[in-house]
Amino acid sequence: MAVKGVSKVNRNIHRITNEIANIRTQRIIQQVMIVGMSFVAPITPRDTSTLINSQYRELKPIPKGWTGRVGYTANYAAFVNNAKGTAKGKRTGKKSQGDYWSPNAEPHFVEKGFERDGKQAIEQVIKDGYKI
């Protein structure tokens, strides 16, 4: 007795595999970047809103899938991210508008936002995104 529908099953498996590898992965990486940056924003140092408003997300194809990158276009963002945070809560000069570092700000805020504060939410996005 011959088994019917094998070619249809193979087509469907191929279709689902492609969907997971491409469309879903792109969507999930975008969601991970959005969720991660939502955890970065509250701990970002700000005197003005320049740094926060210079956030960007980038999604690129690579040979084995997709990669996402987030960051800031402000030219001083790397220096602020790597600063020690010793001026946390101290007032700036007379011409400026606020503190050197916001009271909630932390050094290495990008890493902490993704790897510490947003870790569980990001894991949930990935888990939910790949459910079939």
Note the pLDDT tens digit of each residue in 18-35: 777 788 899 999 999 999
| Domain range summary for the chain, segments of one domain joined by + | 6-129
What is the model's pLDDT at position 20? 74
Q: What is the pLDDT of residue 50?
A: 84
pLDDT at position 44: 87
Task: Judge whether residue 117 has pLDDT over 60.
Answer: yes
Does pLDDT of 87 surpass 70? no
**pLDDT, position 34:** 97
pLDDT on residue 80:
84
Please tell me the predicted confidence (pLDDT) of residue 59.
96
CB neighbourhood size of 73 (10 A): 11
Give me the phi and psi of 124, to 5 degrees please. Answer: -65, -40
Q: Which residue has the higher pLDDT, 67 or 106?
A: 67
